[in-house]
Amino acid sequence: MTELLRKPAGQAGKVHDITPESAGWSYVGFSLHRLAPGERAAASTGAREAILVLVEGRAEITADEREMGELGGRMDVFERTPPHCVYVPDGADWSARATSEATLAVCSAPGAGGHPAQVIGPAGIHPVVRGKGANTRHIHAIAMEERDVADSLLVTEVFTPDGNWSSYPPHRHDEDSYPEITYLEETYYHRLNPPQGFGFQRVFTVDRSLDVSMAVENHDVVLVPRGHHPCGVPYGYEMYYLNVMAGPLRKWRFRNHPDHDWIFQRDKD
């Protein structure tokens, strides 16, 4: 296992707890709670904002002293319906009490007090199909820049059909040079269907100073500190991932790998 590949710490409770300190970067945090009915997760955001994503199941959620009610309904992530999500500003408390078996992702980044606690999904999340052929994937843009719902966070879900590639052609967003490219750290939370499946992800730079290829399994998280980061899934298995990105500017601008940009140029029309 490499330092970019994080395995879950068990099958219940808080199974991931990735902080900027543990990742060795400055912006993105990600944690994952797998809750039984009646179990509770809670935290204070401090100087960070958070987006709570009910990956699966239902929970009663409170954020910044506001009761959001019982949210959820997607009992299996591979139903592909848009998820229920809650934005929590910096300087606030949140809690979630599971009313069914539930998987709760907590995406975090520095906050600036610019947005109130609110439910931000499923309303406003519109499924989009991207790519062609074996590069087709299905997108739920939970909190990308076209939605003014966060100070720093960019969050999206991607479903990759069996035998397909995703985050492809390989691209990077590791320079702070807007509008050409932005610096964004990123995590990938992976799921496979059926769950015993596996996929692959490669994180690499053009000069190969970073070049790591990983087999990813159900509930694994991959860190992308820099470089290109395509992933794929074998025939017979479907891949889901939840992306969390953040950096100094809430804009997603990337550059394709120069050797593989011809695929993007060919397919963009």
CB atoms within 10 A of CB 253: 16
What string of pLDDT tens digits covers the 269 residues of the chain?
Answer: 359 999 999 999 999 999 999 999 999 999 999 999 999 999 999 999 999 999 999 999 999 999 999 999 899 999 999 999 999 999 999 999 999 999 999 999 999 999 999 999 999 999 999 999 999 999 999 999 999 999 999 999 999 999 999 999 999 999 999 999 999 999 999 999 999 999 999 999 999 999 999 999 999 999 999 999 999 999 999 999 999 999 999 999 999 999 999 999 999 87
Report the half-sphere exposure of 58 (CA within 13 A, side-chain side).
6
pTM of the entire predicted model: 0.96
The pLDDT assigned to 1 comes to: 36
Q: Left, alpha or beta for 224 (phi > 0: left; psi -120 to 50: alpha)?
A: beta
Q: What is the CATH number of the domain that holds 194?
A: 2.60.120.10
pLDDT of residue 263: 94
Question: What phi and psi, each to the nearest 5 degrees, are found at residue 90?
Answer: -65, 155
CA distances from 32 to 46, 119, 205, 227 (A): 18, 19, 28, 25
Return the pLDDT at 2: 56
Confidence (pLDDT) at 56: 98
For the chain, give the number of residues.
269
Q: What is the spatial distance between Cα 230 and Cα 148, in angstroms, rounded to a whole number?
A: 27
Amino acid at 25: W
Among candidates 166, 104, 169, 168, which has minimal Cα distance to 138? 166
- Count: domains in the chain: 1
53 bridge partner residues: 85, 105
Range of the domain at 120: 5-267
Instruction: State residue 268's pLDDT score.
Output: 84
Asked whether 53 and 85 are in contact (CB, 8 A), the reply is yes
Give the burial string for 211-232 (b: 16+ CB within 10 Å, else e): ebebebbbbbbbbbbbbbbbbb
CB atoms within 10 A of CB 91: 14
